[in-house]
Structure formats: structure tokens, C-alpha cells
């Protein structure tokens, strides 16, 4: 069974976000290779950049959260004779909608942790 839901496609935005994260990673790796510590200001700027990106990706992924009930009800209706299978399949489909966004969000969190492992920098 193929369930279709209408959600915006954010391919170009996700690609741009990935490039930005790669750029930050490249800068951080360069600092590590030349054994040059980031200044407090540099660390704060990187965290701000990654945090803003994380927020933007979160907003883009909101459309996936909005279709949760629609997907669940369609699967549960179709698999009413096999509710456990319906539950498994709708969750799998729902997770697949989130995967590209989650991948970038996780990368953002990992970069923030790498830049500020002690969580001492606060970005407003």
C-alpha cells in the first residue's frame, strides 16, 4: 500500500544547509589541524550560525509534524484487521519523512557539542 500525503519538498534548502554545515566543519577541522584554538568570539559565532540553521531546519520540518495524524489514521484504517502491522508501517513511513531533517539537526547538535563541549557559551 502506498500512502501519499502532501508535504512541501525542501531539497534545495536541505542541500544549502548541508553545505553550510560542511563549511563550518571544514573551518573547525582546519583549526584542529594547525592546532589553533578558536577564540571565544569565533566559537560564539559558529554556535550562533549553527543554532540559526538548526532553528530554520526545525521550521522546515514542521510540515512533517502536521501530517502525523493524517498518516496514522490512513494506515490504521487500511490495516484495521492488522493494527500492529498498521502501527509499524505508519511509524516507519512517518520516520522516513523526518529522516533528511533529523540527519541535519543531529549534525547541528554534534557541531555545537564539538565547538562548546562544556556548554558554556550562551547564544540568545
Angstrom distance (rounded) from CA 66 to CA 13: 19
pLDDT tens digits, residue range 12-56?
A: 999 999 999 999 999 999 988 888 888 999 999 999 999 999 999
Shortest CA distance to 57 belongs to which of 22, 116, 23, 108? 108
pLDDT tens digits, residue range 46-82?
A: 999 999 999 999 999 999 999 999 999 999 999 999 9
98-48-21 Cα angle (round to 5):
50
- Residue 54: which H helix or E strand, with range? helix 40-66
What radius of gyration, in Å, describes the C-alpha atoms of the chain? 19
Angstrom distance (rounded) from CA 18 to CA 12: 10
Question: Residue 81 — φ and ψ, nearest 5°?
Answer: -85, -15
- Are 14 and 101 in contact by the 8 Å Cβ rule? The answer is yes
In the predicted structure, residue 2 carries a pLDDT above the cut 80: no
Quick check: helix, strand or coil at residue 116?
coil
Q: What is the mean pLDDT of residues 98-107?
A: 96
Amino acid at each position: 500500500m502506498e500512502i501519499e500525503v502532501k508535504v512541501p519538498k525542501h531539497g534545495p534548502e536541505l542541500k544549502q544547509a548541508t553545505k553550510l554545515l560542511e563549511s563550518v566543519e571544514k573551518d573547525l577541522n582546519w583549526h584542529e589541524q594547525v592546532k589553533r584554538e578558536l577564540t571565544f568570539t569565533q566559537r560564539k559565532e559558529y554556535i550562533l550560525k549553527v543554532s540559526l540553521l538548526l532553528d530554520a531546519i526545525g521550521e522546515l520540518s514542521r510540515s512533517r509534524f502536521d501530517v502525523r495524524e493524517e498518516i496514522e489514521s490512513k494506515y490504521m484504517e487500511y490495516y484495521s484487521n492488522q493494527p500492529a502491522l498498521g502501527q509499524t508501517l505508519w511509524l516507519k513511513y512517518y520516520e522516513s519523512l523526518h529522516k533528511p531533517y533529523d540527519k541535519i539537526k543531529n549534525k547541528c547538535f554534534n557541531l555545537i557539542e564539538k565547538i562548546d563541549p562544556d556548554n558554556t557559551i550562551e547564544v540568545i
